[in-house]
Amino acid sequence: MTNIKNNAATQETRRKLIEAAGEVFAAQGLHAATIKEITSKAGVNTAAINYHFSDKFELYAAVVRRALDDMCGQKEYHAKELTGTPEQQLEQVIFEMLENTSDPTRPSWCTTILAHEFSQPTAALDAVVEELIRPQVNRMNHIIRQILGNDATEKQILQAALSVVSQHVHYSYNHQLIRRLQPQAFDQCTWQDMAKHIARFSIAGLRDMRK
């Protein structure tokens, strides 16, 4: 209440640092990223990281937390009511997932940072799993259970969910390799195209499981 100005300046510096660190950590990874690159990109002093955060790793943790907030905090989509038949709901979810990882208004490093966490888990992974992934898994399983009917076993639901989600994950996280292998076809394919395809492909697969 007293020294708001100072506090504001501090917050601003922290924000700049997280933003810069997000980009650098996304591009290089936790270890390969250097303090110098981050601070020079943020336009602050080398010692600022140790001053504002206490550690390089603490900064990283703050970045992960920020990515999480961006991914599931501000987006209201998982509060948004799904409507229509279960198959229509599945379509909506698939669209949301691809839209989310393709959203150009969100700092592009958020996805990458989280992908890093998946392949090289740090202490920050626990939060990611529980806060971000678990709810999505639950929602997906709920929809699939409705589509497959009450006879479906847990094993079947898992398999079905994996089949649906995997298409999103592979497309969204391995796009560099995919584009490299088949550049023309890949570049013709917007995320909307892909969402449509995944939805149709998946629903056909799910219907077949019901037989």
Partner DNA sequence: AATGAATGAGCCTTCATTCAT
Partner DNA sequence: GATGAATGAAGGCTCATTCAT
Q: Which residues bind a copy of itself (CB under 8 A)?
A: 28-32, 112, 115-121, 125, 129, 133-134, 137, 154-155, 157-160, 162-163, 165-167, 169-171, 173-174, 176-178, 180-182, 184-186, 188-189, 193-194, 197-198, 200-209
Q: Of 162, 160, 168, which Cα lies nearest the Cα of 198?
A: 168
Site residues (CB under 7 A) for DNA?
A: 6-7, 9-10, 12-13, 33-36, 44-52, 54-57
Measure the CA–CA gap between 200 and 203, rounded to whole angstroms: 5
What is the 3-class SS of 103-155, one letter each residue? Answer: CCCCCCHHHHHHHHHHHCCCCCHHHHHHHHHHHHHHHHHHHHHHHHCCCCCHH
Which of DNA, a copy of itself, none is residue 69 near (CB under 5 to 8 Å by kind)?
A: none
Minimum gap (Å) between residue 154 Cβ and DNA: 41
Q: Of 41, 61, 39, 63, which Cα lies nearest the Cα of 51?
A: 39
Minimum gap (Å) between residue 1 Cβ and a copy of itself: 29
Minimum gap (Å) between residue 4 Cβ and a copy of itself: 22
CA angle 117, 140, 69 (to 5 degrees): 40
The answer to whether the beta carbons of residues 13 and 44 sit under 8 Å apart is yes
Which of DNA, a copy of itself, none is residue 55 near (CB under 5 to 8 Å by kind)?
A: DNA
**Of 5 and 155, which CB lies nearer to DNA in the complex structure?**
5
